[in-house]
Structure 1
Amino acid sequence: MTQTNVPSLIGSSGDSLREAFGKELTQLAEHYTNVVVLDADVAGGTGMHHFLKKYPERFYQFGIAEQNMVAAAGGMASTGLIPVVTTFGVFCLRAYEQVRLSVAYCRRNVKIVASHPGLDVGPDGGSAQTLEDIAAFRAIPGMTVISPADSFEVGLATRAILDFDGPVYMRTGRSPVRRVLDESYQFEIGKGRILRDGTDVAIVACGVEVARSLDAAEILEKEGISVRVINMSTIKPIDIDLLVRCSREMGAIVTAEDHNVIGGLGGAVAEALVQNAPCPIEFIGVRDEFGESGEPEELAEKYKLTGPYIAEAVRKVIARKMRREHGE
């Protein structure tokens, strides 16, 4: 039986997203008795070592066989179980065909939770840095795609995806992430949240870029630029109503994501607005290239994902807005 009014461990500010996920899922599993975890020999790297220790009988080890793991998850879901498939983001791509056919095509209630996305993999280098997973998974019909901002939201999102009936792809992360959400924050699949209000421009961000977007807003406030920062943790289905409201109220948007600028959050925002309320948009993300080895923060600086670069994109999009308003 699934229950929503159960104890929680959310809110550990020093946790990485993967550790927050592992702790929260383990806590919830006592009440969500049909949850099982499927692992591809990386439990220590996904936070699932917590679950394995407490529920070894509900933990299925597939080794380095992600295609088999996902196909099995589809079969398990057909019996009423809620399989939680866990591995690194790059290895989820290895099982893309099985996700498409064994999970999404059959609309199986499977949750795919990917650690080590984007540049967060750091020293493992470009071959392990998943910069195209959001684009890939949001293109699958019926797939819900989520990228939480901090450890607190991971806890809320974990509970939400267990209550949600349908396939989900959710990003976590390897590195500790700064806490940006307070205890009053409410997570809802398909809804963005305004974390800081403003009048000149909106930054729409997901994952680790939410904290960096708040940094950018602080920089710009000193220049007299008022920035609204939105945590768009659900990338599919995206909150079209909130995006349209921002476009009409401010007339300029910047998107920020730890992902390729092609096909991710920026693409989803642009697709929504071009059909409903077009406005100038600038995109922060990796510019259609593979990453390289380095510490995550060093890589974020190299690939221009940090607060100062987001601030520069804001200045650029405001200039475009002004030219548009003057008919230039």
Structure 2
Amino acid sequence: MTETVTAPEETPANEPSWEERYDGPTRDICRRTLVELARRDPRIMCVDSDVGGLETLFADLPEQYVNVGIAEANLIGMAAGMAASGLMPFAHTLSGFAAARACEQVKVDVAGNNLPVRIVATHGGLSAGHYGPTHHAADDLGILRLMPNLTVLVPADTVEAEQALLASVDHPGPVFIRLGRSATPLVYREPYEYRIGRAVTLADGDDVTLIATGPHPVGMALRAAEALAAEGIRARVLNMHTIKPLDEEAVLRAAAETGGIVTVEDHLVVGGLGSAVCEVVAARGDVPVRRIGVPDRFTDRVGGELDLLEHAGVTPENIAAEARSLAGVTV
């Protein structure tokens, strides 16, 4: 089942412009959107693990806000209880803590009971790299996509983050929304139809396909496609904003219509988008797949997200190089 959400087509004169509305980190717009929803629906609960900022936003909705402190397992357990009681909890924490520290609660309490808990997780991938390896979440998608019933969303920018949160409200079962930390460039500059489980084609091409997920990987894939176009190589770019359920139709179409697939992610090359795409292609396709992601080892560095991604080899240049090799072009 998929949900369709369309962003507003017009901005009233007294409203902020598109750029003003969608400026900033993905987590900020999700929080603002959640407050707007909570004002209209008393079932919506903001469950906080002391991530900061939420208490102020919900100051005039005290009965719809609970801060459990830095206790992620309790956060998920309480959210599951709320959902079982007919409420609509949005549990806020860091992605690495939701996937690892509270893994059992997500698996047993939420996914195991197919409860409508929405886990809004920030600092996904290496976006918390400045805190060091304890806060890296380069394995979160691999852990979470193994759980039956759990829908896993990775918005590419603030526009998509807003639509993902809106779509999650009426989506059956539990939903995990993976967000970053800092502001990232906009991918969408006009309204579009957002559907859970449906990849978005950002560029057409029939030589090779670049499948990316998350803000920086999608941006890198687009830049790589531009560089390839200058060389006469037509690269299709797919924004795979839903990791589970994966858009297998889009993957198989890419396998049938282009000469190869390059996946790009802010995640380990094991277990995430690349692995999911390989599973689909191996079962029903016959084209090569190259994976661009974080190497299968612990990252023992401290730094910004882009710095760590570059250190891991997740760059537009490496994406383009893999695409060239699939297209049979050497430079």
TM over 0.5: yes
CA-based RMSD of the aligned residues comes to 2.0
CA shift for structure 1 position 66: 1.0
Equivalent residue number for residue 282 of structure 2: 274
CA shift for structure 1 position 5: 9.3
1:163-200 deviations in Å (ceiling 9; x for gaps): 10211111011011100113232211110010111110
Q: Is the 8 A contact 1:254 1:283 kept in 2?
A: yes
CA shift for structure 1 position 54: 4.1
Distance 2:296 2:243 in 1: 19
Equivalent residue number for residue 186 of structure 2: 179
1:283 maps onto 2:291 in alignment = yes
State how 1:146-161 maps to structure 2 within 5 Å.
146-161=153-168
State how 1:70-149 maps to structure 2 within 5 Å.
70-92=76-98, 93-149=100-156
Distance 1:297 1:238 in 2: 26
Name the CA shift for 1:127/1:78 in 2 (closer, same or farther; >3 Å): same
Q: Is the 8 A contact 1:204 1:230 kept in 2?
A: yes
Name the aligned partner's letter for residue 196 of structure 2: I
CA shift for structure 1 position 63: 0.8
1:29 maps onto 2:38 in alignment = yes
Distance 2:208 2:159 in 1: 26
Identity of matched residues, %: 38
CA shift for structure 1 position 290: 2.1
Distance 2:322 2:109 in 1: 41
1:306 maps onto 2:322 in alignment = no
Alignment counterpart, residue 210 of structure 2, candidates 189, 203, 206: 203
Equivalent residue number for residue 315 of structure 1: 324
Q: Is the 8 A contact 1:205 1:229 kept in 2?
A: yes
CA shift for structure 1 position 307: 1.2
Name the CA shift for 1:287/1:239 in 2 (closer, same or farther; >3 Å): same
Distance 2:168 2:273 in 1: 20
1:244 maps onto 2:252 in alignment = yes
Three-state SS of the structure 1 residue aligned to 2:33 is helix
Structure 2: 5+ residue stretches without partners:
none
1:257-315 deviations in Å (ceiling 9; x for gaps): 00001000111111112112231000010011222211222112111112112111212
Structure 1: 5+ residue stretches without partners:
323-328
Q: Is the 8 A contact 2:6 2:163 kept in 1?
A: no
Q: Is the 8 A contact 1:113 1:171 kept in 2?
A: yes
Q: Is the 8 A contact 1:26 1:50 kept in 2?
A: no
Q: Is the 8 A contact 1:111 1:168 kept in 2?
A: yes
Distance 1:234 1:79 in 2: 28
Name the CA shift for 1:50/1:303 in 2 (closer, same or farther; >3 Å): farther
Q: Is the 8 A contact 2:141 2:267 kept in 1?
A: yes
Equivalent residue number for residue 165 of structure 1: 172
Q: Is the 8 A contact 2:7 2:192 kept in 1?
A: no
Distance 1:25 1:129 in 2: 26
Name the aligned partner's letter for residue 83 of structure 1: P
Name the CA shift for 1:84/1:306 in 2 (closer, same or farther; >3 Å): same
Distance 2:166 2:91 in 1: 15
CA shift for structure 1 position 53: 3.1
Alignment counterpart, residue 192 of structure 1, candidates 184, 187, 199: 199
Q: Is the 8 A contact 2:6 2:191 kept in 1?
A: no
Distance 2:248 2:233 in 1: 25
Name the CA shift for 1:83/1:185 in 2 (closer, same or farther; >3 Å): same
Name the CA shift for 1:290/1:52 in 2 (closer, same or farther; >3 Å): farther
CA shift for structure 1 position 134: 0.3
Distance 1:64 1:285 in 2: 30
Q: Is the 8 A contact 1:34 1:81 kept in 2?
A: yes
